[in-house]
């Protein structure tokens, strides 16, 4: 997926404070893509914690692997640096510590500082040490998307299956006309699927799965923390790098620096996890670009729909500009013959919105 990089560590502007009957001050809700977050301090404790509730109005576009993010974080305690602390109120109730600071989205875009790049590399190194058998947190992965350890081709094939089946085909009745108008044909990921079969096998490790600017917090000591592990999974370690590079939108020079930093960190602790990384990174990046088209086309339509027919018209150009950029980046991986102009993308969304409005009435 792509991400909105205008949020800070406190969330979106609709966050607000309240005082419930027990006297505890609660901040929130802070809205992310999938959840609303509430932050509060524990009684007689300076530590601030957060609880999150799913946003029921949104589709889930990403494969989930672990049953509980909090239990995964508890499992990683002492093995992965600078991640949220877990407070165990009892065996059934866990709270996640709130990291005070600013996301990288609130800092000038561009190259990471030497300090933050080194800490990111250290995180990558810590993750590849952790194989499937070293993680005790329960997994909820569907067997169809859970290949045998080391099968990098099968791992990417499973991700492609998920995007095609659970994102594209599952919603084809509602959004199929929009995809067609934008030049995205059925079976567009066939080329990436063929490339996936050529991937080099690498041992599976723990992946964060969503390392973008909003999930990287800089604290008051200028240390980098990784939050929001709900998309963590077990799989090809190179996928974490591809996801990070795709979501961060680095310059080509900085992307190359971070890729080499990842390779050096991995080769120091588990060199077999970096086998064939230069060649295979291109294929994984192609998948990430194609995946973004499938998710963002739908997300853009949903966003316009929720505004209502009147306000949506004013926001169509904004949505169209973003979607055309996503299409442009994925033109080659998806085999799009002719990239639609900005005006054509605007017309496609206007037509879809018109059909939805007429069918709803």
How far is the C-alpha of 62 from the C-alpha of 128, rounded, in Å? 21
How far is the C-alpha of 40 from the C-alpha of 51, rounded, in Å? 9
Amino acid 93: pLDDT: 77
- Residue 10 inside a domain? The answer is no
Q: Based on the number of CB atoms within 10 Å of its own CB, is 296 exposed (0-12), middle (13-18) or buried (19 or more)?
A: buried
**How do beta strands 48-54 and 86-88 pair?**
unpaired
Amino acid 7: pLDDT: 30
Question: Alpha carbon 242 to chain centroid distance?
Answer: 11
- Residue 94 inside a domain? The answer is yes
- Residue 6 inside a domain? The answer is no
- Residue 324: CB partners within 8 Å, gap ≥ 6? 339, 340, 341, 342, 345
Token readout for 289 is: 């670009």
- Residue 7 inside a domain? The answer is no
- Residue 11 inside a domain? The answer is no
Structurally, the chain folds into a number of domains equal to 1
How far is the C-alpha of 98 from the C-alpha of 85, rounded, in Å? 8
Token readout for 105 is: 């989205």
Cβ atoms of residues 120 and 77 within 8 Å = no
Amino acid 147: pLDDT: 76
Residue with tokens 């060199």: 271
Per-position pLDDT tens, the chain of length 361: 443 322 333 333 334 444 443 445 677 666 655 566 677 676 666 677 777 666 554 567 888 899 999 999 999 999 999 999 998 877 777 888 888 899 998 777 778 999 999 999 999 999 999 998 999 999 877 666 677 788 999 999 999 999 999 999 999 999 999 999 999 999 999 999 999 999 999 999 999 999 999 999 999 999 999 999 999 999 999 999 999 999 999 999 999 999 999 999 999 999 999 999 999 999 999 999 999 999 999 999 999 998 987 889 999 999 999 999 999 999 999 999 999 999 999 999 999 999 865 555 4
Residues counted in the chain: 361
- 333: domain range? 16-360
- Residue 126 inside a domain? The answer is yes
**How do beta strands 205-207 and 233-235 pair?**
antiparallel
- Residue 110 inside a domain? The answer is yes
Amino acid 357: pLDDT: 59
Note if the bond before 29 is cis, omega within 30 degrees: yes
Question: Alpha carbon 226 to chain centroid distance?
Answer: 13
Helix (H, G, I), strand (E, B) or coil at 356: helix
Q: Using alpha carbons, select from 244, 226, 231, 232 the residue that is nearest to residue 97.
A: 226
- pTM of the complete model: 0.86
Amino acid 287: pLDDT: 98
């Amino acid at each position: 997926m792509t991400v909105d990089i205008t949020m800070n560590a406190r969330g979106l502007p609709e966050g607000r404070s309240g005082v419930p009957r027990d006297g505890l001050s609660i901040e929130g809700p802070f809205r992310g893509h999938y959840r609303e977050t509430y932050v509060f301090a524990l009684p007689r404790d300076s530590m601030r914690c957060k609880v999150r509730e799913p946003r029921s109005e949104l589709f889930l576009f990403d494969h989930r692997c672990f049953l509980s993010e909090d239990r995964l974080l508890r499992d990683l305690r002492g093995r992965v640096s600078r991640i949220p602390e877990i407070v165990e109120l009892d065996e059934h109730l866990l709270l996640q510590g709130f990291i005070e600071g600013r996301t990288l989205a609130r800092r000038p875009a561009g190259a990471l500082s030497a300090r933050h790049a080194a800490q990111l590399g250290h995180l990558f190194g810590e993750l590849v040490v952790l194989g499937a058998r070293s993680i005790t947190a329960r997994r909820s992965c569907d067997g169809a998307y859970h290949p045998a350890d080391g099968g990098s081709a099968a791992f990417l094939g499973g991700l492609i299956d998920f995007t095609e089946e659970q994102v594209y085909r599952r919603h084809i009745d509602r959004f199929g006309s929009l995809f067609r108008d934008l030049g995205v044909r059925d079976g567009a990921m066939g080329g990436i699927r063929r490339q996936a079969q050529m991937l080099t096998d690498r041992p599976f490790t723990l992946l964060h799965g969503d390392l973008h600017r909003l999930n990287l917090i800089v604290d008051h000591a200028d240390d980098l923390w990784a939050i929001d592990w709900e998309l963590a999974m077990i799989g090809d370690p190179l996928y974490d790098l591809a996801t990070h590079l795709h979501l961060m939108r680095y310059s080509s020079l900085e992307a190359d620096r971070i890729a080499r930093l990842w390779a050096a960190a991995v080769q120091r602790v588990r060199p077999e996890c970096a086998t064939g990384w230069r060649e295979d990174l291109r294929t994984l990046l192609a998948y990430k670009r194609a995946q973004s088209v499938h998710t963002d086309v739908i997300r853009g339509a949903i966003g316009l729909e929720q505004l209502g027919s009147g306000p949506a018209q004013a926001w169509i150009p904004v949505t169209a500009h973003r979607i055309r950029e996503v299409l442009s980046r994925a033109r080659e991986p998806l085999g799009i013959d002719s990239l639609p102009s900005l005006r054509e993308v605007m017309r496609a969304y206007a037509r879809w919105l018109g059909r939805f409005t007429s069918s709803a009435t």
